[in-house]
Amino acid sequence: MKTILIIGAGKSSKVLLDYLLEEAYSKRRFIILADNDLAEAFNKLEGHPNGEAVRLDVQDVTLRRTLISKSDVVISMLPAFLHPLVAEDCLELGKHFFSASYESSQMKEMSSAIKEKDLLFLNECGLDPGIDHMSAMQIIDREKETGGKIELFKSYCGGLLSPESERDNPWRYKFTWNPRNVVLAGHGVSRFIRNGRYKFIPYHMLFRRTDLIQFDDVGDFDGYANRDSLSYRAVYGLEDIPTIIRGTLRRAGFCRSWDVLVQLGLTDDSFSMSLPRDFTKRMFVNAFLPYDMMFGVEEKLKRILPWVDDEIMSKLEWLGLFDEEALPLFEGSPATILQQILEDKWRMKKEDKDMVVMQHQFLVKYYHGKEKSIHSSLVVKGENNVYTAMAKTVGLPLAAAVDLFLDGKIKFRGLCLPTLKEIYLPVLDVLESKGIRFVEKEKLL
């Protein structure tokens, strides 16, 4: 019997767990679900005879290594910064490692040792990163095999609200994943290449330079550039491509309004504030505006940001930023305090459903001079607050990869991403069988 250890019983783990438990008995597999919250892990297993819940503080080295030593495959569903702890144990104890998170520099340093021990360490096998890699490589490899040269590749992804859950919210947005990551999204400098020219967007300009991304069934979105698109030329085997951009999606109009918070400095995480206990939300915003006895907060905001219109103002008002209501937090960075304000307004209700949208855009040239565009689009809607679109698109590809590996259908060893045909083809087949499929549109130019 093979033992699978899953460390972390967070939101995406239920879909992952259900898939692996479905055939656990017939495939002679046992799953240990370890989490700091034993009750949460126990509830997710739902009494399955091929599963066991264990309380684990990941900093407990002895118990962590004991659980890993008892396992054949380890899946880390922990926050990304904790993956190296688990990965180092797996390497030392000779266990295969899987995660949905970005391949870190620490992981890359283990590459030679992983190969020497004949282990598979597969990262970036979730949504973004994950499904984005696999679906893009399927098209890239296919077009190369038919003599095409990829001249342009744009890829956008977003975790948003399903249309029926947007109606009570002028932003058409709520937190469907880590709120802190949303508030800090885009910090740094975005870098990409367009028509052979390197382009850089500093954070303070990011939400002003967006692309319109359209989906037939669910409408229009703003696409803004991720921090690093350039490194993906090597990942996708497109080292000489003239245009490559990877980005994030928000509903059309979101970025213009969010940019106000950026320009004011409310998303700044570089310094800490200690505010008087009588500080209100209105006073918080006013603290970032010029001192002027003649004008109120709304007037001062429009004077320093004259492009702010009535639509943007109504969104800011809806968030309660102009209210004489006590702040929910008085200590921390502006971004941390803003996050607390937003969490009240952007909290998912029990009846809300989320949605994941992804679109790849390609321009392909052929040796005979013809060109074509390809738009490949994915829309996944959540079923409820457990089987969310985010949980399905993160948990299913990871579960499928582990299942295929244990079935002997993935034979590769070493440190890798799911950009190998041996991995992405069967995983995408599993996803399609679960209703996660891309719709392609081609147009000759």
Dihedral sign computed on CA atoms, order 128, 157, 435, 35: positive
Query: Which pLDDT belongs to residue 369?
Result: 83
Average pLDDT, the chain: 96
Pairing mode of beta strands 439-444, 29-35? unpaired
pLDDT confidence bin for 267, thresholds 50/70/90: very high
Position 199 pLDDT exceeds 90: yes
Vertex 35 angle, CA 21 and 70, to 5°: 65
Rg, the chain, Cα only: 23
Closest CA to 380 of 367, 364, 365, 396: 396
Tell me how far apart the alpha carbons of residues 345 and 174 are, in angstroms, rounded to a whole number.
8
pLDDT confidence bin for 328, thresholds 50/70/90: very high
67 backbone dihedrals φ, ψ, rounded to 5°:
-65, -45
Mean pLDDT on 134-150: 96
Query: In angstroms, how far is CA 309 from the centroid of its own chain?
Result: 31
Query: Which pLDDT belongs to residue 238?
Result: 97
Position 12 pLDDT exceeds 90: no
Burial environment of residue 49 by CB neighbours within 10 A (0 to 12, 13 to 18, 19 or more): exposed
Q: What is the pLDDT of residues 369-418, one digit of tens each?
A: 899 999 999 999 999 988 999 999 999 999 999 999 999 999 999 999 99
Tell me how far apart the alpha carbons of residues 260 and 319 are, in angstroms, rounded to a whole number.
13
Tell me how far apart the alpha carbons of residues 141 and 133 are, in angstroms, rounded to a whole number.
12
- Structure tokens of 311? 């639509």
Q: What is the pLDDT of residues 25-57, one digit of tens each?
A: 999 999 999 999 999 999 999 999 999 999 999
Burial environment of residue 442 by CB neighbours within 10 A (0 to 12, 13 to 18, 19 or more): exposed
Position 365 pLDDT exceeds 90: yes
Q: For residue 444, what are the β-bridge partners?
A: 372
pLDDT confidence bin for 279, thresholds 50/70/90: very high
| Domains in the chain with CATH codes | 2-123 (3.40.50.720), 131-254+350-388 (3.30.360.10), 265-345 (no CATH)
83 backbone dihedrals φ, ψ, rounded to 5°:
-55, -45
Mean pLDDT on 173-200: 95
Position 177 pLDDT exceeds 90: no
Query: Which pLDDT belongs to residue 308?
Result: 97
pLDDT confidence bin for 222, thresholds 50/70/90: very high
Position 255 pLDDT exceeds 90: yes
Query: Which pLDDT belongs to residue 368?
Result: 81
pLDDT confidence bin for 362, thresholds 50/70/90: very high
Tell me how far apart the alpha carbons of residues 210 and 363 are, in angstroms, rounded to a whole number.
19
Query: Which pLDDT belongs to residue 399?
Result: 97
CA distances from 140 to 133, 237, 363, 365 (A): 10, 9, 11, 12
Position 367 pLDDT exceeds 90: no
Q: Which residues contact 175 (CB under 8 A, 6 or more apart)?
A: 182, 342, 343, 346, 347, 348
Percent of the chain predicted with pLDDT > 90: 96
Vertex 438 angle, CA 21 and 198, to 5°: 115
